[in-house]
Amino acid sequence: MNLTGTTQSEARVQVDRLLKSTLPEMLIERAREEPHKIALRYKRDGIFQELTWAAFLKEIRNVSAGLIDLGLMPGDRFAIMGDPCLEYFVSDHAAMFAGAVPCGIYPTNSPGETAYILKLTGIRHFLAEDQEHLDRLLNGELELGKKLVDHIILADSRTYFLYDDPRIILFEDLIRRCEANPTLLDEVEKRVKDLRPDHPSDITFTSGTTGLPKAALHSHSAILVGLGYAFLELMPELRARSHRVPTHLPLAHVVERSMALVVPVISDVVPHLGEQNQSFLSLLSEVRPTYLHGVPRIFEKLQAHVNVGVDTSSRLARYLFQKATQIGRKRVRRLWKTGKRRSGLLAELVYRMAWLVIAWPAIHKVGLIHCVGAVSGGAPLPEEVQEVWQAWGIPLRDFFGCTETCVIGAQKGFWPEPGSPVYPVYPVEVKVAEDGELWAKGPGLIIEYYADPKATADVIDEEGYLGTGDLVKDHGENAFKIVDRKKDIIITSGGKNIAPATIENALKASPYVSEVIVFGDRQKFISAMVEIDFETVSHWARENKVTYTGFRSLAQNEKVIGLIDREIAKYNARLARVEQVKKFRIIPKELEPEDGDTTPTRKVRRKQAYEMFGQLVEEMYAEAAG
């Protein structure tokens, strides 16, 4: 049996079919079999519009024809930069229909990072969602001193008049090109037929936590199995019925590519795209999703938002919500032991009553009352965060994968116990090296790092396993628990090996903490730089009559420093003595990927963090020594 109870023979049939297919082929089949079903919903002028599979396919073909007329050739790389929008969805698929390789660029990438990506991949065609992303391209070219692309497509036409660059055309011009020359559709059909499962499908960039991001080149079979089938395996609820899912992460992120572009083709998942600049919370409240995916930060932020809402209510309401959460915790802890979906009749009745009367209003405010399941990936999920969401009635699971391997595995069970090991998803195979590094192989592995054969050779061994760079604890039966990134392990002056992620995740369980970066290599103790959660800390400040003018003044306030000190002491109790944070400083600004403080996926670059805040770090150790 696999994670979801699928038999090995059933799984093999499903995987074998996908291994022999391409994404355009599967999308055409879906549109032919269910032409009138909803493929996606997108918001324009305050109203959600629907696009059926037949209409979606027509848009894709027309845009693909326009791109071909613009000179896009099979194998060419095609860049798309912007937030999730209809034009992004259509263009990404359209590039594949033309035999090209879409390459998503994070909307938060700087002009310099954008130029680096374009130069590395040799991209000639670039689609920008709006003025902001077009300017990042043009400014990147200015920094480099030369033009990098031949054609620029602008999705948002409102600022077109600002530019005098003959390379720029509007998105709708692609469709007009098809209308002017309908025979281009024959070329689209030919290119789709010429595609093979092992042909390149897309390029996804690694997060770049330890250096420049690498261009991970996937094949069609890799994304269909590694991002399509694998997601259905770790989210079995998606097989059972139609689901509303918000598209909220950048489409350059491998998790969102899975849920927005691959999974809907082989399941009844309907992506919902918000309006330009619409907040995530606003999108949730409108969509009322039945399933939610995200990175840990999403669930931490939502939990903090719920807590703020509860804290602003009456004393009685706060007391009752705490009691309801306690009832939820007791229930889910029983479910961890039994492995069942529901507890006994009386216990379930007590929980349901507490949820409906007390917890429902708080969950309603964040739009998750219809949510029947959730998954978190991209980084370790703090155990406290996972337990709280389960106590509130949402079976949140943690899964593991990386850009180069797609999905590797997930926790078992409908209500997995926080901190429980990860099991590989069929047909992924794993092994643990002598130094504890996890290696994986399967259909989801990359073809190569584009234009970097040495890096490819360094990461894939002679047996076809790829080194993930993650240290794990082997739990037998191929199960494992992530310890930390191999390059991040701290060795103290006493010779103790410490995993920073363990400490950072423990402290990030505090609703007042947004990010933690710990240090201590060759030192006697662990220190930490802490980014406060502005929403929850500012609310606490107002409740406690603490005056502030902005983030910096709030972060430097002595009472706020005392609050964080108490929070660290509280969560230190859950750590081994050698792991406990002895000193800390609050980061005086919000970390932003646009400023280069983090990667585009909001992961912290530890080396860069030291360069930014090294003076504060050294100050902590100097105080201890003096």
Mean pLDDT of 537-556: 93
Q: How far is CA 151 from CA 159, 161, 180, 351, in A?
A: 17, 17, 19, 59
Structure confidence at residue 2 (pLDDT): 47
Using a cut of 0.85, tell me whether the model's pTM lies above it: yes
Give alpha helix (H) positions in 145-229. 171-180, 184-194, 220-223
Inside any domain, residue 320: no
Inside any domain, residue 556: yes
Contact present, 588 and 561 (Cβ < 8 Å): no
CA 355, 360, 366, 369 torsion-angle sign: positive
* CATH number of domain containing 619: 3.30.300.30
pLDDT digits (tens, 9 = 90+) for 335-376: 999 999 888 888 889 888 988 888 888 899 999 999 999 999
Inside any domain, residue 390: no
Average pLDDT of the chain to the nearest whole number = 93
Give alpha helix (H) positions in 265-359. 280-287, 296-311, 315-338, 345-354
Structure confidence at residue 1 (pLDDT): 38
Structure confidence at residue 209 (pLDDT): 67
Mean pLDDT of 404-431: 95
The confidence band for 333, taking pLDDT boundaries of 50, 70 and 90, is very high
pLDDT digits (tens, 9 = 90+) for 32-70: 999 999 999 999 999 999 999 999 999 999 999 999 999
- Domain boundaries, position 516: 489-625
Inside any domain, residue 500: yes
457's CB contacts (< 8 A; 6+ apart) are none
Contact present, 531 and 515 (Cβ < 8 Å): yes
CA distance 279 to 591: 18
Q: What angle do CA 468, 531, 211 make, to 5 degrees?
A: 35
Inside any domain, residue 356: no
Inside any domain, residue 350: no
* CATH number of domain containing 85: 3.40.50.980
Can you read off the two tokens belonging to residue 148? 């990098």
Check whether 597 has a pLDDT greater than 80. Answer: no
Structure confidence at residue 378 (pLDDT): 85
Inside any domain, residue 446: no
Return the percentage of the chain with pLDDT > 90, whole number: 77
Looking at 177, 195, 213, the residue that finishes a domain is 195
pLDDT digits (tens, 9 = 90+) for 251-301: 999 999 999 999 999 999 999 999 988 999 999 999 999 999 999 989 999
Looking at 195, 217, 251, the residue that finishes a domain is 195
- The tally of domains found in the chain comes to 2
Check whether 388 has a pLDDT greater than 80. Answer: yes
Mean pLDDT of 22-38: 97
Can you read off the two tokens belonging to residue 85? 């929008």
pLDDT digits (tens, 9 = 90+) for 2-18: 444 566 777 888 999 99
What amino acid is encoded at 223 in this protein? I
Looking at 175, 195, 215, the residue that finishes a domain is 195
Inside any domain, residue 281: no
